[in-house]
Amino acid sequence: MAGSRTAIVTGAARGIGAAVAQRLAADGNAVAVLDLDEAACADTVAAIEAAGGRALAVGADVADEASVAAAVERIAAELGEPTILVNNAGILRDNLLFKMSVDDWDAVLNVHLRGAFLMARAVQKYMVDAKFGRIVNLSSTSALGNRGQANYSAAKAGMQGFTKTLAIELGKFGVTANAIAPGFIATEMTAATAARVGADFEDFKAAAAGQIPVARVGEPADIAHTASFFASEGAGFVSGQVIYVAGGPKD
């Protein structure tokens, strides 16, 4: 490992983001735990510090340009200039097309796509200066289409095109960009989805596992492991890729 770098993980208060933040810290990086509510980041920061790592809780709205700029400047000053970015922040506003409001469309596209753009744009200068950078964007198997998720599917497919373009533009500066497309991962978000459709979460997970070749649902640690690889020194010749971490082939 090439010593400690500074990583930013968005949406890191819980779920996949929290697991990725903890894994990157275990890998030896200082980690900025970024979420909309700074207080909500406390548990992730405490877990990292309890394991001997360095972390900073940062409250920011990734869809707001000024908020992102202030957050990245603070991270650079207090934790170190960031050269690893994981764009994980995301929300769900599921509905069938004819019932989907413009606000629900805009909210999802803003957090996922605009947020990833603003964060990557703010952090890239530190990566270019360091001649080292790792950008990891969270897509989803929903990028391939999913009933009731026109907004989310469009955002997650957009993350893949965004990733491939970043890889082309930034490669000559030692910066890679890759995407992870999770399948069914057991988190508060998928539990909320089960509740919304009136299903018991255990039954919901069992039904999902029945459709997955490895016969289980994913855990946040499965995504964190892949993010760790993409962020590593050894992944410098891997860029512009989308890995479906879904327990079987998806693309």
Question: Looking at the annotation, which residues are catalytic?
Answer: 152
Pairing of strands 6-10, 242-245: unpaired
> Distance between CA 215 and CA 156 in Å, rounded?
25
> Distance between CA 180 and CA 12 in Å, rounded?
16
Tokens at 122, concatenated: 């703010």
Least Cα distance to 25 among 8, 11, 42 occurs for 8
Order across the sheet with 242-245: list the strands: 55-59, 30-35, 6-10, 82-87, 133-138, 175-182, 242-245
Handedness of CA 86, 87, 91, 96 (dihedral sign): negative
